[in-house]
Every structure is written in C-alpha cells, then in structure tokens.
Structure 1
Amino acid sequence: MSVERQKVRFVSGDEECVAWHYPGANGACVIMAGGFGVPKEPGTDRFAKRFNEAGFAVLAFDYRRMGESGGQPRQVLPVTDQLADWQAAIGFARTLPGVNPASIAVWGFSASGGHIFKVAARNPDLAAAIAQAPLADGLAAAPSASRYQKPLAALRFTARGLLDTLGGVVGRRPLLVPLCGEPGTVAFLTTPDSLDSDRALRRDKYPDWQQEVAARSLLRLAFYRPGRVASRVRCPLLVVACDQDQSALPGPAVRAARQAPRAELVRLPGGHYAPFLEAHEQAFDSELSFLRRHLLSESQVDRPGKESAA
C-alpha cells in the first residue's frame, strides 16, 4: 500500500534539485525523471504512483533550471548537467531511509530515456534500468521529424537556436521554443504523435508546466546519440520501443537494446506517448515485472505489494 509522498531536495553542482520521495516497503527504489522539458509531475506521476503501490520506493526529480529545482537561466537544459543530476540523484537515493543501495533502478522516457543508456553505462552497480520510448539517436530522429515540418518554420527554428546559442555566450536571456506544435509553427516537434503530449501527460492537471525550452538546448539535442553506449551497459536493461514512434523513432532504440549485453526489449503498438495512453497497461505490466525480477528476492516476488488501478 502506498504512503503519501514527501518533497525532498538534493544538491547537484551548485544548485538544489527538488524531488518527490515515495517511501517504499520492499527496500528497492526507482529513480525517475520526465522527458526533455517535462517536470516530474506530468512526466512521472502516473507510473511513480503505481510502482509505489507495488511496494517500491520512488525518487522522481526535476532537472536543474526547470520545474521546482534551482538554477539560472531557466529552461536551459544542457545534457551534461542533466547527466550530472542523475548522478546526484543516485547518490541521494542510496541515503534514503529503508532503501537498499544495491536495489536501485533508473527510469526515463523520451530524451530522459536516452539518458538512461549513459547513466546505466556509467553506473554498472545499478540493479536495473528502464528506457521508455527513448531518444536513442538524435541524428536519426531529427531528419525524420523534419518531414512533418514546413521548410520556412524549420529554418526559423534553426535560426532561433543559433541566435540563442550566441546569446548564451554573452549572457543574454534564453530564446524559448515550444516543445511541440502544429506544422508551420516554430516548435521543437511537429510530428503527429507529439501533439498527443497534452492528453498523455494530462496537461490540464499541471497548469504551471511551462512547455517551452531554450532553443539552444533543443538544437543540441538533435546531435545527441546516447544509444551508441548501449554495449557498455552491464546492468539489466529494459527498452520499451513504440513501433509507430515518429518523435524518437523505434529503430535506434531496438538497435541499442540488441547491443546491450543484458537487455530485454518490449515493442508496443502506437506512437511516442502510447505507454501513457492506449498501451499503458502493457507498458506498466512489463516494467513492473522487470523491476520485480531484478530488484527483489524470490520471496519478495512471491509476495508482491498491492497494485493500483490504472
């Protein structure tokens, strides 16, 4: 049975990251973060609550410069800093009361799912890792996504990214870009399945969510290729790929799963947000089974915690 979550803080770099801690009952902990520009609440609430009701502790955090975490300038999200935030979160999770440091897993989706490959490669002592609809190869995803954008809007997006990059050098305020939009608008993603984000992540429940990110951060994401380190992941790894994913693409995720020595691959029908929508039960059941097998003892698996309804 789940316990009321508690707001906690941990230090990363020179700032504080804010997180929700869901105390668990079985000694294992799942560390979670939302997608790129997605705070902890819309990005993790649905899965975190259910993992917790199954007995797992959960630590769901905001990256620096977004959500409730500290840091300036806001909405500037360098990949290197996000990876450092993961390291800080892992260190903090090991100090949480009731958590066995040897029974920690990491979970991310979309761009954070891509981070999971690097985080797991750097932390071979993790008990398990889950990459859900991961952005495994930005160089492959970017030209595919551009097919759903109009040329002039794509040019304006690139120009804004370059201007923002130069502005960052001289300390100017970030130029923000919406995470998603209709084709013809200046937005990071205009793929058909990106427009499912409001419904999938329940935008109406989180009115404070700023769905914009610094253009410089989004431009750099197009060159991010974390799936290339999959062969160095030594812990059990679950890759959940969506077969009609137009935003992150399933192909690079599937290839990364095949390269990781201890990977399991689950393929779901649907687009990028299918694990939050029509394929939620299948995604959750696969992930919960994986966590139980790799984080719990046989006796604990035989006595699972109470699960919630979807």
Structure 2
Amino acid sequence: MLRLDVEFPSEGSKCSAWLYLPESQNPPPIIVMAHGLGSVRGMRLDAYAERFSELGYACLVFDYRHFGDSEGMPRQLLDVKKQLQDWKAAIAYARTHKGVNGRRVILWGTSFSGGHVLSTAADDLHIAAVVSQCPFTDGVASSKGVDPKTSLKISGKAIKDLVGSWVGAAPVMIPTAGPPGSVAMMTAHDCESGYLQLVPTDSVKSFPNYVAARIALKIMAYAPGRKTPKIICPVLFCLCETDTVAPYEASYYHARKAPRGEIKIYAEGHFDIYVGSAFERVIQDQIEFIQRVVPLN
C-alpha cells in the first residue's frame, strides 16, 4: 500500500489529499472520502482508508477548502456550496488519475459529509456506490436538539459574522463542539468529548475547534436526505440509534426512500463508531457492502 500526498484544483484553489494506491495488476476502484462538520482528514479517516486499501481499493481522502492542509481564505469557513464543489472536484480528479479505475468511483461520507455524498450521488448518475455513515440528512431535525436560548445566541453571532463578511471584517468564530449549554454548533452531552477524541494526540493543543458562525444561518435549510429517491446506485446507510447530532429517525426516514438503499443500525451514538469495537463492526459492514456491490474484478 502506497500513500501519496496529492493536490487537486477546486474553483481556483487547491485541495490537499491523501491518495492510497494498493498493489494491483489492474487499476482498482477508488473510494473518495471526506470528513464532517469542521473536521479534517486526520481525524480517523486514515483508519478507514487503510482498511479499504488493504483489500485492494484505492482511496482519495481530502480536506475541504478553508480547512486542514487545503487552501482557502478565510480559514475555518464552512460553506455547503463550496464543499459540494470540492466533492465534484475530487471526483473529477479521481476519474482522470491513471493509477485507478475512474469508471468505478465510490463515495464515502460521515456526519455532514454523509449528507454531501447523498446530494452528490443524486446529481451524478455515474457513481458506483455510496457509504453514508451517521449522515446529516435534515437541518431542521438536527436543530430541534438545540436549546432555543442557545439557538438565539448562535443566530446573533451568525448574523454578525455574515454582515461583517460583506465589509471584509474578520470572521466571527464559534466553537464546533462545546459542553452542554455553551454557544457552539454541537452541544449535546457526548459532542465535545466525542469530537475531540478524533483529533490526533500530537495536534490536540493546536487543533482549531471552531468555524465561522455564518454557517448556522444556512444549516437548517440543508436537507440532503430529500435527494435519496434520486440516487440510482447502491447506498449503505450506517445509522446510530442514539445519535445526538444527526437524529436517527430523520436519517432512517430518508434512507428508506433510496431505491437501492441498505440500512445498518448501531446502538451507539454519533461519535462512538469511529473507535473501538463499534468501529470494527461498522468497518466490517462497509467492507462487506463495498466488496459485494463494487468487486475488484
């Protein structure tokens, strides 16, 4: 297995990525992967990619613009439209790379990107398969778990950030994950500890646990789950029953509408399936699905 540091263009900026190339006589299918809300590829995506690559699949694991090692100013700007553009750019790069089979592209997304892959696959009829892990499918459903007083405070910061962006002011930042009752994007009891456990040990002190607040004004309107009826390729939905970020009920409702959807349900919470025994269960289900619907030969 070979892991290369690569870059690809997206709307005039460069996205940084890891390209995993397994030893293979024939160009392998490629799995395109990215993380969730405010996260970067180093937050356990390598654990998934290594397992897929060991089986013989290529993987392209990228950071969105404005995050991680990718270009884009201001930093920590979370924008749905831009991230969907980055997905299209990553797929275009994968399809033209000589070392892989560009006609057999699989999308893998988790949390916020679990919604992005649904939206992307609905618009791209040539995607071979999708894995959507604890997906964000409905902004309204996710917002119901936030205390109204907290929502009001977040909205105030978001409006200030948006208005400031019109005159070139520095972004108003808000924590991505914080303790219950704090003003942060995710504040359920398991969010701060669950989110930060994914950060590599040597990066914890320097990790930017914040995003530009303006995303809070758009996130409620984002409902990628509504596109599931339009996805024609096989889709594996990995849903967590006690998910405090992407509510299980909403995700299950949308997953059932995918024509070729398959649903796996786990008793864990949103951040549990990245580590430990829960990770082992979910990765085995994903491996079985990928090998069955997009075999190497």
TM-score normalised per structure 1: 0.90
Q: Which 10-residue stretch deviates more, 84-93 or 272-281?
A: 272-281
Alignment of 1:143-182 (within 5 A): 143-144=144-145, 146=146, 149=147, 152-182=149-179
Describe the superposition over 1:223-277 as per-residue Cα deviations: whole angstroms up to 9, x where unpaired.
2111001100011111110000011111121111111101110101110012213
Alignment of 1:188-207 (within 5 A): 188-198=185-195, 200-207=197-204
Describe the superposition over 1:274-306 as per-residue Cα deviations: whole angstroms up to 9, x where unpaired.
221341111000111111112215xx4xxxxxx
SS in 1 for 2:69: coil
Alpha-carbon distance between aligned partners in 2 of 1:267 and 1:223, rounded to the nearest angstrom: 26
SS in 2 for 1:94: helix
Runs of 5+ consecutive residues of structure 1 not aligned to the other structure: 301-310
How far 1:204 sits from its partner (Å)?
A: 2.0
* Counterpart pick for 1:227 among 217, 225, 228: 225
Partner AA of 2:260 in structure 1? R
Partner AA of 1:79 in structure 2? V
How far 1:153 sits from its partner (Å)?
A: 3.9
Aligned to 1:10: 8
SS in 2 for 1:40: coil
Determine if contact 2:174/2:212 at 8 Å carries over to the other structure: yes
Alpha-carbon distance between aligned partners in 2 of 1:117 and 1:74, rounded to the nearest angstrom: 26
Alpha-carbon distance between aligned partners in 2 of 1:282 and 1:33, rounded to the nearest angstrom: 20
How far 1:195 sits from its partner (Å)?
A: 2.6
Partner AA of 2:295 in structure 1? L
Aligned to 1:131: 132
Alpha-carbon distance between aligned partners in 2 of 1:274 and 1:220, rounded to the nearest angstrom: 27
How far 1:205 sits from its partner (Å)?
A: 4.1
How far 1:218 sits from its partner (Å)?
A: 3.4
Alpha-carbon distance between aligned partners in 2 of 1:153 and 1:126, rounded to the nearest angstrom: 39
How far 1:95 sits from its partner (Å)?
A: 1.9
* Counterpart pick for 2:244 among 226, 243, 246: 246
SS in 2 for 1:296: coil
Describe the superposition over 1:201-225 as per-residue Cα deviations: whole angstroms up to 9, x where unpaired.
1442434431111000233223211
How far 1:152 sits from its partner (Å)?
A: 4.4
TM-score normalised per structure 2: 0.93
Aligned to 1:285: 284
RMSD: 1.6
Percent identical pairs in the alignment equals 36
Partner AA of 1:86 in structure 2? W
Describe the superposition over 1:63-83 as per-residue Cα deviations: whole angstroms up to 9, x where unpaired.
111111111111112101100
Count matched residues: 292
Aligned to 1:304: none
Q: Which 10-residue stretch deviates more, 157-166 or 270-279?
A: 270-279
Determine if contact 1:181/1:187 at 8 Å carries over to the other structure: yes
Determine if contact 1:193/1:245 at 8 Å carries over to the other structure: no
SS in 1 for 2:31: strand
